[in-house]
Structure 1
Amino acid sequence: MDIQASRPADPSFSEATKTFAKIGLLSFGGPAGQIALMHRILVDEKRWLDEPRFLHALNYCMLLPGPEAMQLATYAGWLLHGVRGGLVAGLLFVLPGAIVITLLSALYLTVGDVPLVQGLLFGLKAAVLAVVLEALIKVSKRAIKDWTMVVLAAAAFIAIAFLKLPFPLIIAAAALIGVFLRKTGSTAGAKAKAAAADAYMQIEMPEWARPNWRRFLVTLAVWLAIWFVPLFALHATLGSANVFAAEASFFSTMATVTFGGAYAVLAYVAQQAVEVYGWLRPDEMLTGLGLAETTPGPLILVLVFVGFLGGARLSGLDALTGGVLGAAVTLWFTFVPCFLWIFVGAPYVETVRNVRWLASALSAVTAAVVGIIANLAVWFALHVLFANVGEWPIGPFVLPTPDLATIDLTAAAIAIAAGIALIRYHQNMIAVLVAAALAGMIWMLA
């Protein structure tokens, strides 16, 4: 098959910008839903990227610290239009949700626990559970191609859900297993995948996707300056004890150590922001998670809520002014490193697509990620549907034990209805979310 003839011409910059703006506005449902959304638009509808290239980019982004969905959008934009394409795609993925969650943070700070707002969040959280489940089904169909991938996904789920093993360890083990399977020829379809990779490499690569040491050094220097010059300036002008300087340092550190996606970030931030810095209360972390789950953009935007409350309460400024500045500092030092990882590393990642043992390793990583996403779906379901969830240690395993007496039947009903609408009848996601929000508000007021 002529690969060049089978795909449309690359889009214009304005067309790509409109498409990534659409993705940014519709990117509800956490990383699983957002990855599924990008796949549907970029691979199935527009055909700007083929399946192997999309999954290759996804595998790389899953190995990075920080929000994998935002980095995948940046990578896709970079593939189409270089650095400016990556910048536009990444910013459009983040900014709509960042603006919304900043406004919601201000509403939370000034209005508090208003029943109408509580009801809206209640209905949306239940519906988002269905969105995540729908996305898990779609990702599984793409990534699970044979029985070895099923075993890998199941093993990854058990490892992270019941053994509490670190995410990087699970990913490393999956990669090693993938290399072993490649050498033994155990992976079904290996020859077909290799042929597809070889055919892909025959396509002319754009100039910016080719490794270049001069461009590598310039890109590295520019993005390190964008990251660290403001960091040093905040410490020099405000002092390290100032809340904005502390947020800049904390979220810079977070951006480099939080492997495992948004829930890994949440666990790290909850412990530090609540217990060490005192920016917010423990129950407010769950409020922030609810806001982030129900706004477009990456789930890691929960950090904007954290930064807003920290700035509002500890800056010494007017609460709203301090909150907005805290949100801006958080946004900058959380996402600038994401652009650095993509723009510096992507040209070298593209060149290894035809290294077959590495392709096999990354395919195994993709299968393991299905198990990771399944664990996130289970975690979210337990905390949406049950008020109390304990743990039951059995040897090396730790099993979640929801208190069945605390089940929220209304949340379950909304989630089931949303799931039927999305998975069985393929209804519009935004319409389902709006209907769920209205149901939640009606229930809370009643």
Structure 2
Amino acid sequence: MKKQLLVNAKLVNEGACFVADVLIHHGRIEKIAPHISDSNVDVFDINGNYLIPGMIDDQVHFRDPGLTYKADLTTESRAAVAGGVTSFMDMPNTVPNTLTRNLLEQKYQAAAQQSLANFSFFMGVTAGNLEEALRVDNESVCGITDDGLYFNEQQILANNPEYLEKLFSRAETLVALHSEDESIIDRNYERYFDETQGRIPFALHAKIRSVEACVTATKRVLSIQAKHQNRLHFFHISTGEEALLFSDSDDYSTKRVTAEACIHHLWFTDADYEKRGGDIKWNPSIKTENDRQMLIQALKEGRIDIIASDHAPHSKEEKTGTYEQVKSGAPIVQHTIPLLFELASRGEISIEQIVEKTSHRVADIYRMKERGYLREGYFADLVEVAPNSPWEVSEKSLLYKCGWAPVTGQQLSAKVKRTFVNGNLVFQEDKFISDAKGSRLFFEKIR
């Protein structure tokens, strides 16, 4: 296989930004140096653009199997790669829910045939499958989670402390949870339903799925984890008050509790409900500008460890109607990296911090083997981002199967130019260059 040489690149890695060349061979980074000369290579001129490790998105809902009318592994992995996401971890709320090891392996087999990006899948854990969930191999499965499964079970696990005691006392793999208090949400819903005579505006979503609902559940889960010291990860933290509950330690060899923020909670605020309405109805809800700013500050301090997309597509019909009718979630994986670079252009976060939170720390938390960094010997999952390439998110540019996005019409200044997955140039200048499939992700076996 011919080597690939990337020249004139501005590398962003491990807190530094520097100009260097990168040599790729057999899918891995063979050499990083100021100037590399090698014969029989394909040369790619990066033209002074940023070269970053591909985003590792630890929370996507690609809807495959069973819900493929709105998304599937082929379409959404293409959207991911076009957006600079080279690896993803998919949630278990497919049809059927991924609650057995057999169903889990079926998803891995399907991804091997369909996905352009590297992949892993969470095992679902509910009140009824504890023994099965605990049997997953933590070297080949990213973790276990209840995220999305509360539609089919009586309650999410954050509201079931007795069950969490059992789970946390025995789990040897990472447990990732959705954390909201359902009793508070139900109480809020009843109040606002009465006040609006059943015509709840979307702006009240932030009041119904409130700060109190998030903080109460998160405190409850943290108190149980403290007894058992299992590895625990919180998905989509949406409030500044919650962010203050987490440690700012950057020692991931000992850090047992980690947390993420999602791009929509860093980009939108409750003021956007007036314009975007049900398009930005997510669970947990998008909250205030103060919450948004506190989440960004928590990312800088290390209290929030990573950034994810929570890509959760629904059909246009499912996002149309009244507050009660519109489903929660939206497609955004194609736009997460460009939106983060837009925040960087505003001075809210640095490019180095983007790379840290979308690649380095994800690899650290999940103890991922040989990914997430620009290091010699690591897999060549690389993304070229041009910082001064203005473009508008149009419906025509969308790669999501559902055909819509909550950021349509948004003007952005940074654009993904090239994406390499395992050394394969898969995407370049708005075109897919290769149909090479991604690989299964693997993890260090550490309790």
Give the number of the structure with larger relative contact order, counting CA–CA contacts within 8 Å between residues 6 or more apart.
1
Normalised by the size of structure 1, how large is the TM-score?
0.25
Normalised by the size of structure 2, how large is the TM-score?
0.25
Greater percentage in helix: 1
Greater percentage in strand: 2
Which is higher, the Rg of structure 1 or of structure 2? 1
